[in-house]
């Protein structure tokens, strides 16, 4: 399907600061009167937010890796149909906090599920919709996890995974970025918040 808007995704390991940066980018676009939609995964729809609660609930220690991928994909299918495609068709910019690359990094490289299976499920969930640009906020695992703990936010089921899991996730992201350099930009997210914001705006500006 042909879309006219611009689809940009934001990826990163735990504690990369994506959410703060995205809010600021949204404010910057709004100042310029550029129509945009800011959304997130899992979530972004009423159904998706309920799935998010289920996925992140630390009580669900028994959740199987296959259940997990299907739930993330269910949330994604709803978000694509209800929010992302309509916004792109209306010519808007869509900024999405996580998308399919989170599945490849966390369920693929992190959990060890076969990438070919994940690709098939993802294709079904999204109808093949891919972002034009993926901004990856990179932080070493120890830095990211320490930030998450200091933030005072409730830790999710995935935050509680072993450090080795999070290392595989970060390495996975870097591998994915190397495989598709035309779509990915790696942003050093160990820097100050303002510097990271400037770097993100510099990446986005040529597309506006
Ligand atoms: P966040 O919104 O705070 O970034 O939390 C989302 C969590 O869900 C994070 O730990 C990454 C994880 N996740 C996956 O494991 N697979 C996915 O496909 C997505 C979208 C997120």
Q: What is the pLDDT of residues 81-134, one digit of tens each?
A: 999 999 999 999 999 999 999 999 999 999 999 999 999 999 999 999 999 999
pLDDT above 90 (res 160)? no
How much of the chain, in percent, has pLDDT values that exceed 90?
Answer: 90
Separation of CA 112 and ligand 1 centre (Å) = 16
pLDDT digits (tens, 9 = 90+) for 12-37: 999 999 999 999 999 999 999 999 99
Report all structural domains of the chain as residue ranges with CATH numbers, in order of start. 6-207 (3.40.50.300)
Assess whether the C-beta atom of 72 lies below 6 angstroms from ligand 1.
yes
Contact by Cβ (8 Å): 26, 38 = yes
Separation of CA 32 and ligand 1 centre (Å) = 30
Assess whether the C-beta atom of 42 lies below 6 angstroms from ligand 1.
yes
Assess whether the C-beta atom of 172 lies below 6 angstroms from ligand 1.
no
Pick the closest to residue 103 from 85, 122, 84 (CA basis). 122
Average pLDDT of the chain to the nearest whole number: 95
Could you give the CA distance from residue 159 to residue 53 in angstroms, rounded to a whole number?
14
Assess whether the C-beta atom of 10 lies below 6 angstroms from ligand 1.
no
Separation of CA 50 and ligand 1 centre (Å) = 14
* Residue nearest ligand 1's atom 9 by CA: 158
Both structure tokens of 109: 């490289």
Separation of CA 63 and ligand 1 centre (Å) = 15
* Residue nearest ligand 1's atom 3 by CA: 14
This prediction has a pTM of 0.96
pLDDT value, residue 2? 40
* Residue nearest ligand 1's atom 13 by CA: 102
């Amino acid at each position: 399907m042909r879309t006219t808007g611009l689809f940009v995704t934001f990826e990163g390991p735990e504690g990369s600061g994506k959410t703060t940066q995205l809010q600021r980018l949204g404010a910057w676009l709004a100042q310029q009167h550029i129509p945009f939609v800011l959304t997130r995964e899992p979530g972004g729809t009423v159904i998706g937010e309920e799935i998010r609660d289920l996925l992140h609930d630390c009580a669900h220690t028994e959740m199987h890796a296959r259940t997990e991928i299907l739930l993330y994909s269910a949330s994604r299918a709803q978000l694509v149909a209800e929010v992302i495609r309509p916004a792109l068709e209306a010519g808007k910019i869509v900024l999405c906090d996580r998308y399919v690359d989170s599945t490849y990094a966390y369920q693929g490289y992190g959990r060890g599920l076969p990438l070919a299976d994940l690709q098939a499920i993802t294709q079904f969930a999204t109808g093949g919709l891919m972002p034009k640009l993926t901004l990856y906020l990179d932080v070493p695992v120890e830095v990211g996890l320490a930030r998450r703990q200091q933030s005072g936010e409730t830790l999710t089921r995935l935050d509680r995974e072993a450090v080795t899991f999070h290392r595989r996730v970060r390495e996975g992201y870097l591998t994915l970025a190397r495989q598709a350099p035309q779509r990915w930009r790696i942003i050093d997210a160990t820097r100050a918040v303002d510097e990271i914001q400037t770097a993100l705006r510099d990446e986005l500006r040529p597309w506006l």
